[in-house]
Structure 1
Amino acid sequence: MAPVLPLVLPLQLRIRLAQGLWLLSWLLALASGLTLFCSWHLLIQLWHLGTFLAPSCPFPAVPKVALAAGTVALGTGLVSAGASRASLDAARYPPWRGVLGPLLVAGTAGGGGLLVLALGLALGLPWSLATGLEEGLGAALTHYKDTEVPGHCHDKRLMDELQLRHHCCGRHSYKDWFGVQWVSSRYLDPNDQDVIDRIQSNVEGLYLIDGVPFSCCNPHSPRPCLQSQLSDPDAHPLFDPRQPNLNLWAQGCHGVLLGHLQGLASTLSSMLAGTFSLQALVLLGLRYLQTALEGLGGVIDGEGETQGYLFPSGLKDMLRTAWLQGGASQRPAPVEAPGEEAPPKEALPEA
């Protein structure tokens, strides 16, 4: 049975393989560290913006899986760096011979699987952000007034901080505030006729106005911020509704947050792809180095050439051997048939 992808490794090539593998292992550790940093940064951003993301949105799973994949890749890089360094010294290599096998299995199955899963989530789940932010921001606008309702006490503060920090207003534009009651009921005079008329004119009994909170105001505006009666052209002669950027933030928070989080996810997916490529190269080189040294008894500078390979036999032969071994282990042991009893001897007649 011929080995899979054999490679003849003379002495100089074995030494260069070990040295190059040591360098690649540290590059893998560096890439894994950057992946962990990007994952933590995205996770912290989602923690701050969790109020504006629907609970059913699966996107927060991306940084969590990426953290696990980066941790395994970091461990793989550090261990393979130690193993490749020790392989250059025949006295230091023997303790590593029992570590390389489990490392290759764990790095290929566990680390590679986690990296592929994290990369797939980072490429696929950002498309769910649009729906998640649509629902989350809509709920945040609706509960803006509920400063005394348990569970929504901080929604007003968080929404104001979001609009001030990201220079956005409303969900898609400042007009989104016209369709929700964002003024708390405790600030409304129930005896005021204007308040009564506005509440009675709405089907849901809400106090709706054509105004926005102060956090929508652009501090770089050349004039004082106009927050109320924005749809009335006669109320503010100098206000041009076609140019809200002169007075209010023009962008909606949905587009700003969507671009921000998708940009972080794109950076994370690039780091995951680079980490996966480096880990594949490290595990491939480590396998060739391991099989080559096993042929020399663990001595890298042994005499003669040796052969490195991925598998000791072809895939068909490996599957056939495993099948035969599995069938032999499940086949019951043969039971010996009881021997036939000899017929009784007839008594000889007496003379």
Structure 2
Amino acid sequence: MAQACEKTLTLEEISVSGYEKIIRVLNPEVGLHAIICIHSSVIGPTLGGIRIYPYPNEEIALKDVMRLAKAMTYKSLLSECSWGGGKAVIIADPKVDKTKELLSAFAEAVHQLKGEYICAEDVGCSPEDVLLISKTTPYVVGLPHEKSSGNPAIFTAWGTFRGIQSALKKIYNSSDLEGRKIAIQGIGTVGFELARLLFWAGAHLIISDLDQKRCLELQQLTGAVILSTEEILKAECDVLAPCAMGGILNSRTIPLLRCLAVAGCANNQLLNDSDADELASRGILYAPDFIINAGGLINVSLELEAEGYSPIRARNRVNRIYDQLMVIYKIAEQNRFSTHRAALSFGDYRLKYQIGKRIEPPYFHHASM
């Protein structure tokens, strides 16, 4: 099924079992090739970021957006945000191909879905980009103005910080970060903020990123040890915090790990679900990524509540990530299976019985500005 929109914009559905709706979005005039993926709207309208990335082909992009959208379903379920799981990817190099025309065409595609999918910033897509998108459609959050929450990075970082504390509590029976070694793989916007939080809590930092200039800047601020992108996974540390792209935990890399726990903000850290079993068999505690990195979702979702956004309510709700992870660790221990399986099982239970199903519709306060 295809429907023509303005100029050469087309929306074409791709049928994939287990997903409610996947849409290929094309506009050759502006170089737009995107995929919007709606995994589940059982609990509420779907909400998820826009990832702009130069995927080699559509097949790889489709696989990534499906994994990301499904993770958003569980992220919302376990953070009790009452949203469905959705995600979008735009196949483009954000440094070269991202234009006003491309973003506007994508915004028109989002608008055509009439609120089935609400978008936000993600890798390659900035708050300024979503502000531009909001000129075409109200179905967007994370805007840099007084009616919205702006860049959610600090809330994602704070949730990850609290998740690292939960891992330390489970391992050492103390959440104190003083003197603990934390290895951060990837110091993008969230990773950088996380490093600063950890520094002020007394942690010893080990960092790695492809951007050496950024590494040196963070080293100047925190005294962090810089390792290559190959060596960071082998670093002897208390906690490894993956904060870059997904699939970093797999059959090749897990045997290299010299950490006691993995707790980071990257999405889809496991290449396969079975990799969580391998971590557990090696005695490495894993904080499921779709719980520990939910701070950004929690933050932006509050924009859509009737009473409007509140940073204090956002902070207090993000703080609960610590307690949610402690529950997951306990479930996993009692049932003798991985923390990843425990989190999925808990999410499946909430989905099956529609626990937390949204009753009130979203309020798009910024649309009236």
Instruction: Kindly indicate whether structure 1 or structure 2 has the higher relative contact order, using CA contacts under 8 Å at least 6 residues apart.
Output: 1
What is the TM-score with the length of structure 2 in the denominator? 0.24
- TM-score, length basis structure 1: 0.25
Relative to its length, the structure with more helix (as a share) is 1
- Whose strand fraction is larger, Structure 1's or Structure 2's? 2
